[in-house]
Structure formats: structure tokens, C-alpha cells
Amino acid sequence: MEALISAVLGDLVSRSISIMVKKCREQATTETTAEADLQRLHQLLLRISAVVEEAEGRRVTNRRMIRQVSMMIKQLFRGYYLLDSFNCRKKKTDDDEVSHSSFAQSKFNPAKRFRRLSSNTEIESMVIGRDSGKELKQVIVVLESMVADMKEFAIFLMSYPRMYRQPYSSYLFVDKCMFGRQMEREEAISFLLQAEPNGNLGVLPIIGPGLIGKSTFVEHVCDDERVRKHFSLILFYSRNNLKEESLTTFIDNCVIKHQNIASDEERSLVVIELLGDVDEGEWKRLLHTSQRCMTHGSKIIITCRSEKVVSFGTTKAIKLNCLSKEAYWYFFKMLVFGSTDPEDLPPKLTSLAMELALEMRGSFIFAHVFATLLRENLNDRFLCKLLGVARAYAQKNSLVLDEYPKDDMSRYAWSIDDNLQGPEDRTLFRIQHSQQKGLDAHDEVPRITLMDLLSGTLSTMPQGKFEVLSWRSLIPPYYSYIYACELLRHNNTTP
């Protein structure tokens, strides 16, 4: 009987050891494969980055090539996001293994005989790792197919002339250049320079939610040298709607953005920026009148939040959406870390920054404000504090807040004053509405900034209703974005 029990136990031990050895080999193979995939991904990203940078430095007019470059940029951001995620996770895992090893060697460790892999957290991490591994392989396949077709694309690319530009990906210029809309801009410029069939008046609709960058986009299109040479006059109209506008009053309410007196042609470009909705009947009436008065070759750009204006266009509308999480992380990373590679930073710092980028939901204003705060105080503790504020902001506004909220919806924000103890003592503000002011109104902007509220540097906390300058853009049209706020709670006072 004892011999039988001994044989059974021996067999069980032998099988257990075989299973453990097999799992160790599989894990080692998986880690080796993942490491090779990451190296391959890095090589592919470098090759495609070079082609994208070359494309952005040339005046590409072919729409199919523009779309192809847009696809490259999308996959480029996706690849860099995965690369940063894997590197961050790998460093954290290595640090944890060192920590766990030290803990296991201690004679005071009562649990050193138990496998920690049974915890729910680690099982979840393994599942996430497998999903990320699949995505990594998918991205590599897509990038390899792009690289395979790159030779022919590069030959066509060389036929287009170069243009002077500042590289948007450079950390020295990322906050002074329009980010992520290069190919859409070339598409808009291509439409403006092309002649319309039968001498019709060309209309390009540009739609997107508030604060997404429509005004910035149009400004960069109109500032292009090719557009300024093509049109003798560029007019800008900004009103709530076109209601009761005759051609005379419409022209009187326009601002001259550019005038080329030396031009032989009298083509005009009219930019209509609508803050509110527009009646289709009013639009047709104004368009019919404009067609009789505007010279052949003239164009109209109309920007609006409503998708109703899509039907007003004579070409496909350009829709400006929020940046993808991958593109937004690339943008935020450059603002915060500059030229420093995230791989050279502490993994916790990079991980927290990536979480913060997700919580900001694509907001350009929050990206600039938080990046400015972090550059002055870049450490884990302060980053955790900002992350807590961003999460609390999103949670408090979850019922009324989309990625880009409507102006008529109230929102909430917290102060993170270091002098206050605990989240229950934070100051709560309601953001009632927002507005943007141009260069001519810069003297009228409030002195209190959103960074003052978030950093707690104000000597005296404002009371009641007040205005704050959330952000002043460093690129055309140099808008100042202002929040109208109301104090709701301070020092444990119930709202």
C-alpha cells in the first residue's frame, strides 16, 4: 500500500514539474517573441515617420495620396501608443519582480510558499497582456503592408514641390503649430484652388463640436501662401446665424482678413463662421444672391457645429473630430516631456501621464493647462493629484458632459490648493458658459487664470460669480478662451 501511495505521489510530482517546466518555456518564448515584436515595431515606426515627415514637407495635391498619408499618421500614433504602453508595463513588471523577490527571501514572509499569480489583479493583467499582444501583431502587419507599398508612394511624393514649415512633432514648436490636421488642410486648400464646373460658386462645409479647432483650422488654410495668391480678397463673417441678412448687411458685417491689390483676378473667399444653427431657407436666399454678385472662381467656407450644413456644400464636408487616444497621447507627451523619450522616464510617471491623457477626453485646453502645470512640478505626487482632479471633474460632469460639451450646459471644476486638506475641502466651481475672444479683445480678458485656480496660487479666493482665462492660444487666430464661473463651495461650506 505504501509503495502504491509513493508511486502515485511520485507520478503527481513528476507531472507537476513537467507542467511547470512547460509553462516556464512557453512564458520565455512569449517574452522573447514580444521583445522581437517591439523591436520590429520600433523599426517600422522609424521608417514610416520619415515618409510622413517628408510628405508633410511637400505640397501634395492628390487627394488619394493625402488620404494615404492620413492613414499612415493614424497607424503611426497607434504604434507609438502601443510602444509606450508596452515599455511602461515591462518596466513596472521588472520592478515588481525585484520587489517580490526581496519580499520572498525574507524569513518574516508567511506567504512565501503561495503563488501570487492566483490573485485577480494579476490574472486580469495577463488577460490584458494577451489582448495587447494581439493588437501589437495586428499593428505590425498593417505597418509592414504600408512599408511594402512605400517605394512607389515615395516616387510619386518626390514629384511635389517642397514647402517651408516647422515640424509639428518637434517639442520646441508643438505648442506653436496646429497639430494633427495637416492632411485635412491640404484637402481644403486643394478644393479652394480648383475651378468649379460650370462656373458655380464652390462651398466647403467644415463641421465639428465646439472648441475642436474649426477656427484654427480655417485660419491656417487662409494663411497659406497659395490661397492668398489665388484670392484677391478674403472676408470673414462671424454671427449667431444668417437670419434677416441681406447682401449689403452681410458684407458690412464681414471683416477683411486679406486683400491682394496686385492680383489680376478678382476672386473672393468668404469664410462664414456660424456659432448657432442656420435656417436652410436663409442660406439658400443668401447663396442665390451671392452667386450673382461674386466673380467666377470665388469660394465659400462655412463652419458650424450642426451637421445640417453638410447639405449646403458643393463638395464633401470636412469633419473635425476629437483626436484619437493615440494621437492625443503623442500630443500631450510632447507638451509635457518635450524631447525626453518616455522610455527614459520612471515607468510610474509615464503610466500616470497616459492615464491623465485618457481622462482629459481630447481637450486641447486641458492638455495645455495641465502640461504647463506639470512642466513646473513634474513628479509622481503632483501627477497623481492632477489625475484625481481630472477624474473627479469627469465623474461630477458625467451626466452633462460629452467629450466636448455644449456651451449651454453647466459644468463643474475643482481647485487643488495644496493648503486644503482632503477632497472634501476642495473648492467647487460651476462653469456656467464659455466664450472666445480675438486679438482685439485681449485687453478685456480676466486676470485670473484656470492655472491659478488649479494650482492654488491665488492669495484671495474669488467669491460669487467671476470669469477666468482658461487658455490663450499661441497660434492663429490667437483666441483667448474664457470661462464664466460661480463659486459653490469653499472650506466645507455646503452649496
Instruction: Return d(Cα 315, Cα 470) in angstroms, integer.
Output: 36
Are 411 and 431 a contacting pair, CB within 8 Å? yes
Instruction: Give whichever of 87-101, 128-142, 346-360 has the largest mean pLDDT.
Output: 346-360
Cα within 13 Å of Cα(410), Cβ side: 10
Class at the top of the CATH hierarchy for domain 182-319: alpha beta
**Domain map of the chain by residue range?**
17-157, 182-319, 325-489
Reading the block at residue 476, the C-alpha cell is 492663429
Length of the chain (residues): 495
Give CA angle at 105 (103, 106), nearest 5°.
Answer: 70
Q: How many whole angstroms separate alpha carbon 163 and alpha carbon 446?
A: 39
Q: Is 94 exposed, middle or buried (0-12, 13-18, 19+ CB in 10 A)?
A: exposed
User: Element (H or E) spanning 269, and its range?
Assistant: strand 268-274
Give the confidence band of 2 by pLDDT, cuts at 50, 70, 90.
Answer: low
38 has pLDDT over 50: yes
Contact between 208 and 218 under an 8 Å Cβ cutoff? The reply is: no
Interatomic CA distance for residues 253 and 242, integer angstroms: 11
Cβ-Cβ contacts under 8 Å for 203 (sequence gap 6 or more): 287, 299, 300, 301, 302, 312, 313, 314, 315
Q: Tell me the C-alpha to C-alpha distance, in Å, between residue 184 and each of 30, 168, 169, 179, 286.
A: 40, 15, 17, 11, 27
For 418-476, the pLDDT digits (tens) are 433 344 455 667 777 778 888 777 678 888 888 887 776 777 777 888 888 988 888 88
List CB contacts of 312: < 8 A, sequence separation 6 or more: 203, 205, 280, 283, 287, 302
Q: List, for residues 472-482, the tens digit of each pLDDT value.
A: 888 888 889 88
Q: Hey, what's the cell of 120?
A: 485577480
pLDDT of residue 426: 57
Other C-beta atoms lying within 10 Å of the C-beta of residue 238: 15
Q: What is the pTM of this model?
A: 0.75
The per-residue pLDDT for range 170-228, each reduced to its tens digit, is 444 455 677 878 878 888 999 999 988 877 899 999 999 888 889 999 999 999 889 99
For residue 163, what are the contacts with CB-CB under 8 A and spacing of at least 6?
57, 58, 59
Task: Please state the φ and ψ torsions of residue 81, each to the nearest 5 degrees.
Answer: -65, -45
Q: What is the pLDDT of residue 342?
A: 67
